[in-house]
Amino acid sequence: MDILSQEITIILVGSFFFLLVAVGIIVLLLIYQKRQLQFILEKQELSNQFQKELLTTRLEAQEETLNQLSREMHDNVGQLLSSAKLLIGVTRRALAAPMEELQLAEETVSKAITELRSMSKSLSRDWLEKFNFIENLNAEADRINASRELEMTIQHPEVIHLPSERQLVLFRIVQEAFQNSLKHGKAEQIKIAVAQSDGQVHVVIEDNGMGFNVADTSRLGVGMINIKNRAQLLGGSAQWQSSGSGTSVTVRIPTLELIA
């Protein structure tokens, strides 16, 4: 009986040991997987951060290029056109019987100067930052409508609550979208609707152009990529819908308060 008791004790101790081993393996597995998962998430986070920084740098470079272009247009081309206008004026006044064409030339150059200045303003970051998104959008619509190539209508609230640097990026998105409508879609009408709800700013840019195949990602243009990148940078999204009778881009940007 003593031997049997000893054997039973050995069995109990052995079973307990095996049970501990099983529990140990399970706990170790859980801890190891948790650490692995944490490592993967940290790696992913770093990669996302890197992508975001890369995107910011690229967009800043683009913004700087636009700024320089705006300065060049204003300071060099603008000055040359002003000189040309001055010379035409002087010549016209110096002549006893000035030709009608000279006055027409002076008016055309004058128009070109006005157009160039407004275009220069719409490209200049320093200028745009003086106004809010709605004011810039209205100015852009006035500029576009003045050219009579395109009819642009805007629906918007009084104000949108978005920090100024985000408003500028959103304005660039809209600029890029209607440039696309103009260049690729050959649109004649563009409707822009701005709204703010649920901590998001929604902008829908709709045109009556010839449309394109949204599913064909291989033909994603630089303009569309820029729109996507900018929206992504603001933690938002951009979606396209297109048919033979036009294209609409819906941009959703969260307000900063929501992200924080």
Partner 1 sequence: MLKVFRGPNIFVYNIMYVFNALALGQYFYSLLIGNKKRRMVILLVTVPLIYYIINNVVFGGEEVFDSLGYVFSSIAIVIMIFVFFSQILANVSEERLSMNFNFWYVASQLIYQLGAFIVFLTFNYLTKKILTADYSRENRAVLTKLWGLHNVLLFLSALLTIFGVIWISFHKKSRSS
Does residue 117 contact residue 78 with C-beta atoms inside 8 Å? yes
Nearest CA to 126 out of 178, 62, 175, 64 is that of: 64
Q: Which amino acid is at 223?
A: G
1 interacts with partner 1 by CB under 8 A: yes
The footprint of partner 1 on residues 237-256 (CB under 8 A) is none
- Distance of closest approach, residue 31 Cβ to partner 1, in angstroms: 10
In the list 2, 6, 9, 14, the residue contacting partner 1 (rule: CB under 8 A) is 14
In the list 7, 42, 72, 149, the residue contacting partner 1 (rule: CB under 8 A) is 7
- Distance of closest approach, residue 47 Cβ to partner 1, in angstroms: 14
Neighbour-count burial of 194, counting CB atoms closer than 10 A to its CB (0-12 exposed, 13-18 middle, 19+ buried):
buried
Distance CA 173, CA 17 (A): 66
Given the complex with partner 1, which of 43 and 183 has the nearer CB atom? 43
Sheet with 237-243, strands from edge to edge, namely 151-155, 189-197, 200-207, 246-254, 237-243
Does residue 165 contact residue 183 with C-beta atoms inside 8 Å? no
In the list 6, 8, 64, 145, the residue contacting partner 1 (rule: CB under 8 A) is 8
Does residue 137 contact residue 230 with C-beta atoms inside 8 Å? no
In the list 15, 49, 83, 155, the residue contacting partner 1 (rule: CB under 8 A) is 15
48 interacts with partner 1 by CB under 8 A: no
211 token code pair: 């449309």
- Distance of closest approach, residue 44 Cβ to partner 1, in angstroms: 9
32 interacts with partner 1 by CB under 8 A: yes
In the list 22, 104, 258, 259, the residue contacting partner 1 (rule: CB under 8 A) is 22
**Residues of the shown chain interacting with partner 1 in the complex, contacts defined by CB under 8 A:** 1, 4-5, 7-8, 11-12, 14-15, 18-19, 21-23, 25-26, 29-30, 32-34, 36-37, 40-41
